Amino acid sequence: MLDRIKASLPSLAPAEQRVGRLVLSDPRAFANLPISELALRSHVSKPTVVRFCRSVGYDGLSDFKRKLVGNVSEGVPFIHRSVDADDKTADVLVKVIDNTVAAFLKYRNDASSSTIQKATDALAATTTAGKRIEFFGVGNSGIVAFDAQHKFFRLGVNTIAYSDGHMQVMSASLLGPGDCVVVISNSGRTRDLMDACDIARKNGATTIVITASGSPIASAGHIHLAADHPEGYDRYSPMVSRLLHLMIIDILATCLALRIGARLQPLLKEMKNNLRNKRYA
C-alpha cells in the first residue's frame, strides 16, 4: 500500500501530495489521527484529505485508514523471495508459497472495493441485457482468460475468450454498446491487447482491464482493476501474477453470481446432475 502511494505521488495535485507524504512519514500515526489533525499537519483542507484517499484508489478516509491499519499491522511483509539455483526442494516450497500468500495479503489490503463494485455493475448490466462478455489475454494471461470464460459461462452468461491477437481485434470490431470486454495482462504493454481494447472502447463496449498500475493498458480501459506484484513482467515463467489474476476473476465471478441471485441455483443444480454420469461411481 505504501509503495502504491509513493508511486502515485507525482500524478497527484500538490496539496494531495502533502497528504501522501504525511502518510509515508508515519503510517501508524496517520491511521489514528482525526481528519482535522491530518488536515492541519498537511496544511490542507479536510476535503483535500478525503480527495487524496480517493485519488489513490480508496472509497474515502475510513476505507483508507482501515486498509492502512491492516497494511502496517499485518505482520507478513510483502517481500519477493527469489528462488536460488542451489535451493533445496524444501526451500523452493516455502519461497513459492510465501510469495503467493504475501501477494494475496497485499491485494486484500490494497484492493479498491469501489472499483470492483463498478466492474461488477458493468458485468451485471451486460448479463441482464443479454449482451456479450469477452475475455482477452495473450500468453500466460490467455490461460487466465480461458479460465474466466469457463467460470462465467457456468453462470449462464453469453461469453467467450480469445488468446489470439487477430481474433481479439476481429471480435472487438463486432462489439458494441452494452457489450463488455475484460482485458487481462501481466505487463500491461502487449500491443495486441491494447489494439483490441481501443477498438472495443471506440465501438461503445465497456472495457475492464486487469493489469499493473501505471502501464499503458491500465489507462486504456473504462475500469482498471490493479494487479500489482513484485514479479517482473519479463519473467519467463510468471507464477504470482497468474494466481493473482485468477483470484481477481474469482472475485468478479462470485460478485456476479450473487447479483444474479436465486435464479442461478436451479441452473447450477441441473448442470451438476447432468454431469453425474460423466463420473465413475
Lowest mean pLDDT among 34-38, 161-165, 199-203: 34-38
pLDDT at 236: 45
Lowest mean pLDDT among 32-41, 79-88, 146-155, 218-227: 79-88
What value does the mean pLDDT take over residues 7-24? Answer: 90
Assigned C-alpha cell, 36: 482535522
Write out pLDDT tens, residues 42-84.
999 999 999 999 988 888 898 888 888 777 655 444 444 566 7
Locate the domains of the chain by residue range. 2-73, 75-110, 113-268
Phi/psi for 34 (5° steps) reads -70, 160
pLDDT at 248: 96
pTM: 0.70
> Is the pLDDT reported for residue 239 higher than 80?
no
Rounded Cα gap, residues 57 and 65, in angstroms: 12
> Is the pLDDT reported for residue 20 higher than 70?
yes
> Is the pLDDT reported for residue 237 higher than 70?
no
The CB density around residue 149, as the number of other CB atoms within 10 Å, is 20
What value does the mean pLDDT take over residues 170-178? Answer: 97
Assigned C-alpha cell, 80: 519477493
How deeply is 114 buried, as exposed, middle or buried, from its count of CB atoms within 10 A (0-12, 13-18, 19+)?
middle
What is the band of 118 on the pLDDT scale with cuts at 50, 70, 90?
Answer: very high
Lowest mean pLDDT among 57-71, 80-94, 164-178, 244-258: 80-94
> Is the pLDDT reported for residue 234 higher than 60?
no
Phi/psi for 135 (5° steps) reads -115, 125
What is the band of 191 on the pLDDT scale with cuts at 50, 70, 90?
Answer: very high
Top-tier CATH class for 113-268: alpha beta
With cell 482498471, the residue in question is: 224
What value does the mean pLDDT take over residues 177-203? Answer: 95
Longest CA span, the chain: 70
Q: Which residue has the higher pLDDT, 138 or 67?
A: 138
pLDDT at 164: 96
> Is the pLDDT reported for residue 193 higher than 90?
yes
CB 241 within 8 A of CB 227: yes
Q: Which residue has the higher pLDDT, 270 or 138?
A: 138
Residue-wise DSSP of 109-140: HH--HHHHHHHHHHHHHHHHTT--EEEE--TH
pLDDT at 245: 95
Lowest mean pLDDT among 92-101, 153-162, 195-204, 241-250: 92-101
In CATH, 2-73 is 1.10.1740.10? no
pLDDT at 79: 43
pLDDT at 67: 83
State the average pLDDT for the chain.
Answer: 88
> Is the pLDDT reported for residue 137 higher than 90?
yes
CA nearest to 256, candidates 151, 172, 160, 161: 151
Phi/psi for 208 (5° steps) reads -115, 130
